[in-house]
Structure 1
Amino acid sequence: MSVGVLAHLFGSLPYRELAAKIGNAGFTHIQLALWKAVSDADFTKPGRLSPGLVMAMAEEFRKHGVTVSVLGCYLHFFHHDPVVLRENKERFKELIRYARLFGAPMVAAETGTHPDRKYNELDRIILRETVLELAEEAEKWGVFIGLEAANGHLVGTAQELNELLMQVPSSHIGVVLDPGNLLHEGNIGRQDEVIREAFDLLGTRIIACHAKDRKLTEEGRVITVSPGLGDMNYPLYMSLLQQYKPEVHIIMEHAGEQEMAACKTFVEDTRTEAAKLSVAAETSGSTERT
């Protein structure tokens, strides 16, 4: 039940230094976004990876007790410039091809956003075609794609992600669930409903999760804070996660280095308590049936 972390929360570093820093902080798995976390090479263009480099990085992380549970990428999947879109797809495909050498079962991404956050049907068509193309590549290499809904993105709600999954029905596409990404000023007052709906629609497709927190300020704005320091109903989140996907990887997505240990403990303790309550409920139900 160990909680992992976004590697780039430690900064952009040479991979040997990064591996040591993450291991020393007590994390055993990470979400690794190469062009955000690793400074040894410029990974912003496709074609930099090789089996030798990837195996060297993976071995260095293993030396420090760290595995790569998720390869992350922050790319725009419905860009109207065909040159930019093609490059983004090639970068994602390169991660798919090398994911298994990293030891990662998945490559994860949000879908992208326009600055004005106004979308049209062409955006949805381009996104659907892009995801279909990426899914075909993932199927060739035996790797999952993890899609994440995020407020303000083209796919910003659990309903919108569920619709996309139905439009591209590949068994190699799963969900990276982050309830914090679904909460905003308009719905944080009914967050339990939002969280339950996300699990109702997407629970069986979850392949990884994120952990951050959301807080409603006195000015009425919703801001992102570290796990345990906000208003999100973590007991509900962890209990539903235990119900749908016990032992699924959780990646801590927001925390300063000085507070990481406490936030990690908070998530792990909340998850452990949810598991205990689940076992107790199952035991009670079994006793009543006999």
Structure 2
Amino acid sequence: MKLGIFAKTFDGSEPSTVLNSVAQAGFTAAQYNMACSGLPPMPETITEAQARSVAEAARSGGVEIVAVSGTYNMIHPDPALREVGLRRLATLAERCAGMSTGLITLCTGTRDPIDQWKVHADNDTPAAWRDLLEAMEAAVAIAERYNVDLGIEPELANVVNSAEKAHRLITALKSPRIKIVLDPANLFEVATLNEQRRTVSSAIDLLADRIVMAHAKDRNPDGSFATAGKGVLDYGHYLGRLKAIGFSGSLVTHGLSASEAAGAATFLKGALGGEGAGRG
């Protein structure tokens, strides 16, 4: 597996500054965010030169751009805002080749009007699901046009809040463009070790043929998020299950400070070398 990190973990508004920090912390891959180019995360416009500068900085720093973040609230209660997000997704997709990447990560969304990562009671309604299908169908058309894949992530606060719902979406859309970004810390909040292992194993087994990226963060015993290796997630089990399905993509950490990055890289390298021996 390639070891990566969210580029926006590091300060900077120039690709070379940020991606050099990625490499110096011990990572060979990055999930890029256009904020690292001094732009909004989902810009209205991206010039060819701005895209090319990302690829050039990546090559110079020895870092692979394994994905770019294209998250917007796909089921926002205001349809006009959904349309804005879709338009900006097309802008991003058009420039992916210039940035030497072929994967855009998405947020399947929430009915919360303010925070796209906040759970809402209406997320489980048939109307929310219909809106997601409509948004994803439009996103798939963009992906086809620009030859990119779309990574969706089961996330407790979003409409796709489980591996089962992710599988249901894949089945409904019937598009090979839909891929899975798997973050086990987004599949549970508070769970016993056995419950956690069952949840993670089930998700990996169900979605195995679509997993293109694995995320790496953690949970504290109270359910709050933690830096990878500093919580209760059984990394030995998680990485062992990924290896068992033949996963060879990127393991990308996030949800940490820049000062923690080198330590997280050391932990994850050790966990990857342990072939599933305990939590590492």
**TM-score, with normalisation over the residues of structure 2?**
0.89
- CA deviation string 1:118-145 (max 9, x = no partner): 1222111111111111112212222111
Residue matched to 1:228: 229
Residue matched to 1:94: 91
1:187–1:194 CA contact under 8 A, matched in 2: no
2:200–2:238 CA contact under 8 A, matched in 1: yes
What is the CA-CA distance between 1:275 and the residue it aligns to?
A: 7.9
SS in 2 for 1:18: helix
Residue matched to 2:7: 7
SS in 1 for 2:220: strand
Aligned-partner Cα distance in 2 for 1:149–1:42: 25
Q: Which runs of 5+ in 2 are unaligned?
A: 113-118
- CA deviation string 1:128-176 (max 9, x = no partner): 1111111122122221111101112111111111111111110111100
Residue matched to 2:67: 70
Query: 1:255 corresponds to which letter in structure 2?
Result: L
- Runs of 4+ aligned structure 1 residues displaced above 4 Å come to 186-189
Query: 1:33-48, aligned counterparts within 5 Å?
Result: 33-35=33-35, 37-39=36-38, 41-42=39-40, 44-46=42-44, 48=45
Moved more, 113-122 or 60-69: 113-122
Residue matched to 1:24: 24
Residue matched to 2:121: 118
What is the CA-CA distance between 1:3 and the residue it aligns to?
A: 1.0
SS in 2 for 1:265: helix
- CA deviation string 1:236-257 (max 9, x = no partner): 1101111113321111112222
Residue matched to 2:115: none
What is the CA-CA distance between 1:269 and the residue it aligns to?
A: 2.0
Aligned-partner Cα distance in 1 for 2:157–2:197: 20
Change (3 A) 1:53 1:266: same
2:77–2:111 CA contact under 8 A, matched in 1: no
Change (3 A) 1:43 1:108: closer
Change (3 A) 1:183 1:261: same
1:175–1:208 CA contact under 8 A, matched in 2: yes
Change (3 A) 1:154 1:12: farther
Residue matched to 1:172: 177
Give the CA RMSD over aligned residues: 2.0
Computing the radius of gyration from Cα coordinates, the structure with the larger value is 1
Change (3 A) 1:164 1:187: farther
SS in 1 for 2:212: strand
SS in 1 for 2:275: helix
Aligned-partner Cα distance in 1 for 2:251–2:52: 24
SS in 2 for 1:274: coil
Residue matched to 2:252: 251
Does 1:135 find its partner at 2:140?
A: yes
Query: 1:276-287, aligned counterparts within 5 Å?
Result: none
SS in 2 for 1:222: coil
What is the CA-CA distance between 1:69 and the residue it aligns to?
A: 0.5
Moved more, 185-194 or 123-132: 185-194
Aligned-partner Cα distance in 2 for 1:45–1:246: 32
Structure 1 vs Structure 2: percent identity of aligned residues?
A: 23
Query: 2:144 corresponds to which letter in structure 1?
Result: E
